[in-house]
Amino acid sequence: MTTVNILSGGAAQGLVRGLTETFKAQTGLSIDGEFGAVGIMADKLRAGTAADLVILTQALLAKLAEETLVIPSSIANVGRVETALAVRSRDPRVEVKTEADLREMLRSADAIYVPDTKASTAGQHIAKLLDQLGIAYEVASRLKIFPNGATAMRELAASTAQRPIGCTQATEIIATDGIALSGSLPPGCELVTMYTAGVTARAAHPKEAAALVALLTGADRRELRRRVGFAD
């Protein structure tokens, strides 16, 4: 079967999964591709990886359009995603209301599961946050860094640590079995990221890719987007 290939940040994996059957019924095509740290996905497109569609942060997609790798007129906002805290489903939820609360919670955790701190949106933010909190050196040995948020959350679900915590984008937390969304980052520490979708300049199936963008961003899919962790 013919497929529309995408390169996407991990934040959108649950949303794409939820639209696969609708898209197939509408176009007769399936969806395939890669989900991971946004910086790595952008570099794959730059390196020539075949893709009809990209779903990345607003700022990164704008850069790819400037580089003539994405068609500017095709770009549309999917929604905003917050970086949030996660715990294993069997563990008590944690609530942090202030920066001091977050500092103490991270200091007390014996394992901290995070995505790539150099190439992923949430991972970069977490690295800056640990510096901001003044505990980067203290917790360095407890950081469990994985290529993307989805992998980090699966590893958190399987963790045998006594007091593990995870931090990545809410959509990746919601999409992972065995993990619970525990709460938002407190004021002064939060990150909310707008994700956008666009058709690539070298798309093999540009019409179908545009149809997928319409599905991802359409008003009639607002409830699905909300359910998987996106906000308008």
Query: Given this model, what pLDDT does residue 160 score?
Result: 96
Residue 1 has pLDDT above 80, yes or no: no
118: region left, alpha or beta (phi > 0 left; psi from -120 to 50 alpha)? alpha
Distance (Å, whole) CA 108 – CA 114: 16
Q: Which domains are present in the chain? A: 3-80+194-228 (3.40.190.10), 81-184 (3.40.190.10)
Taking residues 42-66, report their average pLDDT. Answer: 96
Residue pLDDT, tens place only, 129-147 = 999 999 999 999 999 999 9
Query: Given this model, what pLDDT does residue 63 score?
Result: 96
Residue pLDDT, tens place only, 19-46 = 999 999 999 999 999 998 899 999 999 9
Residue 79 half-sphere exposure toward CB, CA atoms < 13 A:
26
Q: What is the pTM of this model?
A: 0.89
Q: How far apart, in Å, are the Cα atoms of 55 and each of 12, 69, 94, 163?
A: 7, 13, 31, 34
Residue 95 has pLDDT above 90, yes or no: no
Sequential DSSP letters for 198-210: EEBTT-SSHHHHH
Residue pLDDT, tens place only, 140-196 = 999 999 999 999 999 999 999 999 999 999 999 999 999 999 989 999 999 999 999
